[in-house]
Amino acid sequence: MYISYKPLWHTLIDKGMSKEKLRQKAGLTTNMIANMGREQNISMNTLARICEALDCQITDVIALAPGDPPTIGGKHDKESNKTDS
């Protein structure tokens, strides 16, 4: 299983918010946004900031998905799938 950010992308669409606007509102780095786009882990603190910025629940941001994360834009390396600080 892996953590999927598909609910986040749907939430952004529903709220009419861009990734850049979320990045600014939640105080995220471009790397954090990129990591989520590659289905890589982010910290719980970052998830909380996203939920606060979107005024939503964690289930509106992440979901557990079966199997391995899809490869996006290159090889997915589980060893480099570390959390941000």
10-27 tens-digit pLDDT: 999 999 999 999 999 999
The C-alpha atoms of residue 79 and residue 48 are separated, in whole angstroms, by: 24
pLDDT at 70: 80
Assign domain 2-67 to a CATH class.
mainly alpha
Give the Cα separation of 30 and 82 in Å (integer): 16
Residues 6 or more apart whose Cβ sits within 8 Å of residue 70 = 39, 76
Per-residue model confidence as pLDDT tens digits over 29-76? 999 999 999 999 999 999 999 999 999 999 999 999 999 888 765 444
Query: End-to-end alpha-carbon separation of the chain, Å?
Result: 23
Show me where the domains of the chain are located. 2-67
What span, in angstroms and rounded, lies between the C-alpha atoms of 65 and 6?
Answer: 10
